[in-house]
């Protein structure tokens, strides 16, 4: 018994050490990484900037994707894409997760203070999008007194907020905004020109009306002080503007405009066919109909299976940490001296009293300020494990309290030490009591693992956002993802019931003896 316990303790120690070690990219980069150009964007719902090809969701595309590939080629580097949520792009840049951010970031005063920007690579205006029955809302003045949606932290949002009579709804992702417009929750949308074209231009129920409003410039963001890369990329952009490469890229996406010709000084008429725009439009229209939807759902299965695997691994490792640490906390709070009881109680109250999302963000983005850098995978496991350890500790403490005092006295009378009595008599009985609760907690942890998507892990919930936003299909995709969560949880429910029956049989046999 003691040898098995020692082996388990060694395994637990190794796991904890692995969790606290920095992730692979936190160590010094190998020599080959010097030739790498890592860049980040939120490619989950980001048409036409960087997004997943509707015809092949494993493939990234977009006009910014093509532009970065050309920049990397001119610099003699290999581009490496890093997925990150919009809110985490600049913090990740400052943390050193990647070299630059390319995601239609407007060169606003706030953004210019937070990062170093290249020269503008695209200029556009905001466009009004309405349902076909509301085409009279074709100017900014016509929007007064109406409910208008837009993307947060954009020029359009600032313009709308300056008009008190307009009720503004700000969204993190444009797919949700377009969904609300279709459902009648909004009267109109005010969005960047490329977004308006690619979301309203592939459907028959929405139209773009009026003239462009205002002007927005996009730039590539770098860490403050990274002048060498900034200057190299700036030169490459300048060359692409002069030799017509940028016009070729934007022309293929139907995004070359007179404003771009004026900004770049490229007034040549290259007559580039909008092949990428037509390909995207045709791909979106081919997904309609019963057969098209069925083919699409079958294509989702490998992607969902991969995301489910990551969700399961993260959740299982986090639960191992939660169970182990929770047991130590419960024992410390139940049997430890006053100082240990106070420390365990303080940990439990702090962790239970703060949101899990804040803890995830603190561990991933905050700890590097203290010199502790964890990979997204280890940070996600650690955050979930530390959070659920507090809840498991209270479950175990309740289980320990439920064991009759006479059990301890009987064990002591049989010449067991206090430690042996706790390990061999009290804990097994308490474990059987809390096993159903532990199963429920693991299922809850499976669902809470969705929060690790904010630190670039593409688990099931992140996959749902990606697939539903690519095809504007929230019902069928949601049912598939829900089924995946259900299938992940059911085996553990059955396993817990099996263990519970076995423990019950063991207790009854020991009672007969």
Q: How confident is the model at residue 14 (pLDDT cuts 50, 70, 90)?
A: very low
Note the pLDDT of residue 420: 77
With H, G, I as helix, E, B as strand and everything else as coil, classify residue 334: helix
Q: How confident is the model at residue 505 (pLDDT cuts 50, 70, 90)?
A: low
| Residues whose CB is less than 8 angstroms from the CB of residue 328 and which lie 6 or more positions away in sequence, other chains included | none
Identical fold for domains 31-111+219-286 and 314-508, yes or no, is no
Q: 218 near 193, Cβ under 8 Å?
A: no
Question: Which residue would you say has higher pLDDT here, 136 or 477?
Answer: 136
Note the pLDDT of residue 429: 73
Note the pLDDT of residue 248: 97
How many Cβ atoms are within 10 Å of 428's Cβ, its own excluded?
A: 14
Domain 314-508 sits in CATH at 1.10.3720.10
User: Residues 23-49: pLDDT tens digits?
Assistant: 433 333 343 445 899 999 988 778 899
User: Residues 365-410: pLDDT tens digits?
Assistant: 888 888 888 888 999 999 999 999 999 888 887 777 767 776 766 7
| Residues whose CB is less than 8 angstroms from the CB of residue 72 and which lie 6 or more positions away in sequence, other chains included | 37, 78, 79
Note the pLDDT of residue 202: 83
Note the pLDDT of residue 194: 95
Q: 88 near 457, Cβ under 8 Å?
A: no
Domain 31-111+219-286 sits in CATH at 3.40.190.10
With H, G, I as helix, E, B as strand and everything else as coil, classify residue 162: coil
Q: What is the mean pLDDT of residues 281-288?
A: 74
**Separation between Cα atoms, residue 135 and residue 202, nearest integer Å:** 17
Any idea where the domains of the chain sit in the sequence? Answer: 31-111+219-286, 123-217, 314-508
Q: Above 60 in pLDDT, residue 353?
A: yes
Question: Which residue would you say has higher pLDDT here, 20 or 135?
Answer: 135
Q: Which of 114-123, 332-341, 445-454 is most confident? A: 114-123
Check the CA dihedral 391-392-397-403 and report its sign: positive
Q: What is the mean pLDDT of residues 475-486?
A: 87
| Residues whose CB is less than 8 angstroms from the CB of residue 324 and which lie 6 or more positions away in sequence, other chains included | 12, 15, 389
Phi first, then psi: give them for residue 22, nearest 5 degrees.
-60, 155
Render 9-20 in DSSP notation, one character per residue: HHHHHHHHHHHH
Selected from 3.40.640.10, 3.40.190.10, 3.40.50.410, 2.40.37.10, the CATH number assigned to the domain covering 123-217 reads 3.40.190.10
User: Residues 202-235: pLDDT tens digits?
Assistant: 888 999 999 999 999 999 999 999 999 999 999 9
Q: Which tokens sit at 361?
A: 């963000």
Of residues 457, 375, 452, the one with CA closest to residue 19 = 375
Find how far residue 168's CA is from the centre of its chain.
Answer: 26
User: Residues 157-207: pLDDT tens digits?
Assistant: 999 999 999 999 999 888 889 989 999 999 999 999 999 999 888 888 999
Token pair 């952009």 in the structure block, residue: 237
Q: What is the mean pLDDT of residues 478-499?
A: 81
Find how far residue 334's CA is from the centre of its chain.
Answer: 38
User: Residues 306-315: pLDDT tens digits?
Assistant: 889 999 999 9
């Amino acid at each position: 018994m003691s040898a098995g316990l020692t082996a388990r303790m060694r395994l637990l120690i190794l796991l904890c050490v692995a969790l606290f070690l920095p992730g692979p990219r936190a160590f010094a980069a190998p020599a080959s990484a010097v030739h790498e150009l890592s860049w980040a964007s939120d490619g989950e719902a980001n048409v036409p900037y960087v997004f997943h090809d509707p015809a092949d969701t494993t493939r990234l595309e977009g006009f910014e994707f093509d532009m970065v590939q050309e920049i990397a080629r001119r610099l003699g580097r290999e581009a490496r894409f890093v997925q990150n949520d919009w809110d985490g792009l600049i913090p990740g840049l400052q943390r050193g997760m990647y070299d630059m951010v390319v995601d239609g970031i407007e060169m606003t005063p706030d953004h210019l203070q937070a990062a170093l920007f290249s020269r503008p690579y695209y200029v556009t205006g905001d466009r009004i999008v309405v349902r076909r029955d509301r085409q009279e809302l074709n100017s900014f003045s016509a929007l007064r007194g109406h409910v208008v949606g837009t993307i947060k932290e954009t020029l359009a949002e600032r313009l709308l907020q300056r008009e008190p009579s307009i009720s503004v709804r700000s969204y993190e992702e444009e797919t949700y905004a377009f969904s609300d417009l279709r459902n009648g929750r909004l009267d109109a949308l005010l969005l960047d020109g490329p977004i308006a074209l690619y979301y309203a231009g592939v459907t028959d129920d929405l139209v773009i009306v009026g003239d462009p409003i205002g002007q927005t410039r996009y730039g590539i963001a770098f860490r403050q002080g990274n002048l060498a890369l900034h200057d190299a990329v700036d030169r490459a952009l300048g060359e692409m503007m002069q030799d017509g490469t940028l016009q070729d890229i934007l022309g293929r996406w139907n995004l070359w405009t007179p404003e771009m010709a004026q900004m770049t000084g490229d007034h040549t008429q290259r007559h580039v066919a909008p092949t990428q725009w037509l390909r995207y439009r045709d791909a979106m229209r081919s997904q309609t109909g019963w057969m098209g939807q069925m083919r699409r759902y079958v294509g989702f299965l490998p992607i969902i299976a991969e995301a489910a695997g990551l969700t399961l691994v993260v959740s299982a490792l986090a639960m191992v940490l939660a169970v182990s640490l929770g047991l130590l906390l419960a024992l410390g709070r139940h049997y430890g001296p006053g100082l240990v009881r106070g420390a365990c109680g303080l940990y439990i109250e702090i962790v239970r009293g703060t949101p899990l999302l804040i803890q995830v963000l603190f561990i991933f983005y905050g700890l590097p300020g203290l010199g502790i850098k964890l990979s997204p995978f280890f940070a996600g496991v650690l955050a979930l494990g530390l959070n659920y350890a507090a809840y498991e500790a209270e479950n175990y403490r309740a289980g320990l309290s439920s064991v009759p005092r006479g059990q301890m006295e009987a064990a002591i009378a049989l010449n067991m030490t206090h430690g042996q009595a706790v390990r061999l008599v009290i804990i097994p009985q308490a474990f059987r009591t809390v096993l159903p609760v532990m199963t429920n907690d693991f299922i809850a942890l499976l669902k809470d693992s969705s929060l690790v998507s904010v630190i670039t892990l593409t688990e099931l919930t992140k996959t749902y956002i990606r697939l539903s936003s690519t095809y504007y299909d929230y019902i069928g995709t949601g049912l598939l993802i829900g089924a995946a969560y259900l299938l992940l949880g059911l085996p553990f429910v059955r396993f817990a019931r099996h263990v519970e029956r076995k423990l019950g049989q063991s207790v009854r046999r020991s009672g007969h003896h």
